[in-house]
Amino acid sequence: MSSAISRNPILIAEGSQVLPATVRHLILDRDGVLNREPEDGSYVRTPEEFEWLPGALEALALLRRAGVRLTVATNQAGVGRGIVSPADLAAVHTHMQAKATAAGGALDAVLVCTHTPEAQCLCRKPAPGLVQTAIARSGIAAAETLLVGDDGRDLEAARRAGVAAALVRTGKGRRTEAQLSGADLVAYDDLLQLARVLAGDEPRAGR
C-alpha cells in the first residue's frame, strides 16, 4: 500500500492553481466539512448533537487506507464565550474520534482554538496558527499538505500558512463559493468527492 496519494497536478479555475501533486496530509475543518452545523448557528455541545455529514466517514476511511495523515483544525469560540465547557468539547471530540476509528478513518490529531474573535489570537482561523501547528506536528511539508474547509476563513488560513486549499460545498461552502465567484478556487460537492479525486476514482476537480 502506498504511504501517500500521488497524482498528477489537478488543474482548477483557469489553470492557474493546482492541488499538490502528492497529498500526504489533509487538514480538515470540522463543522460543515465533517459534521452538520446546528441550524440556529449555535455550537455542538454534546456527542448527541454531533451529526456526521453523508459520506464523511467513508471519505476518512478512503483517505486513511491511502496512508494520508488526517488532522482536524477547528475554531470553537463557544468555549471562550462560556457556552460550551472544555469538558463538553472534549467529549464531543472523543465521540468523533471513536466513530471515525470504528469506520476505518482514524484521525491523527484534533487541534482546537477556543478563543473568541475579540481575543485576536494567532491560532483562530483565518490566522494561520492552527494550520502551522498541524504542519509542525505532522512532520510533513506544507507542499504535501492540503487544507479542506467550507468557509473563506479556512481558505485564508491556508493561504497565510503557505498550503494549498480546497473548498467543499457542504456547510457554508456554497455560500462561500458564491462570495468568491471569479477567484481561483478548487471546489468539490463534499469531502467524499474530494477523497475520490485524490484516490484517482474521479479525474478532475468539481467547479
Per DSSP, 35 falls in state B
Is 50 among the domain residues? Answer: yes
> For residue 141, is it within any domain?
yes
Give the confidence band of 184 by pLDDT, cuts at 50, 70, 90.
confident
Residue 88 belongs to domain with CATH number: 3.40.50.1000
pLDDT tens, position by position, 14-24: 333 568 989 99
Q: Does the pLDDT of residue 77 top 50, yes or no?
A: yes
111-120 per-position pLDDT tens digit: 999 999 999 9
Listed in order, strand segments (DSSP E) in 1-137 are: 5-6, 11-12, 17-18, 22-23, 25-28, 69-75, 109-113
Checking if the pLDDT of 80 tops 90, the result is yes
Range of the domain at 134: 5-198
159 in a domain, yes or no?
yes
Average confidence (pLDDT) over 67-82: 96
In angstroms, the Cα distances linking 90 to 56, 79, 114, 142 are 20, 11, 12, 28
What average pLDDT is seen over the chain? 89
Using the predicted structure, report yes or no on whether residue 204 has a pLDDT greater than 60: no
> Which residue is it, cell 478556487?
185
pLDDT digits (tens, 9 = 90+) for 123-135: 999 999 999 999 9
Told to judge if 150 belongs to the known catalytic residues of this protein, a careful annotator would answer: no
Query: Total domain count for the chain?
Result: 1
- CA–CA distance, 206 with 7 (Å, rounded to integer): 16
- Among residues 29, 150, 151, 154, the one annotated as catalytic is 29
Residue 28: other Cβ atoms inside 10 A: 25
Quick check: is 31 catalytic? yes
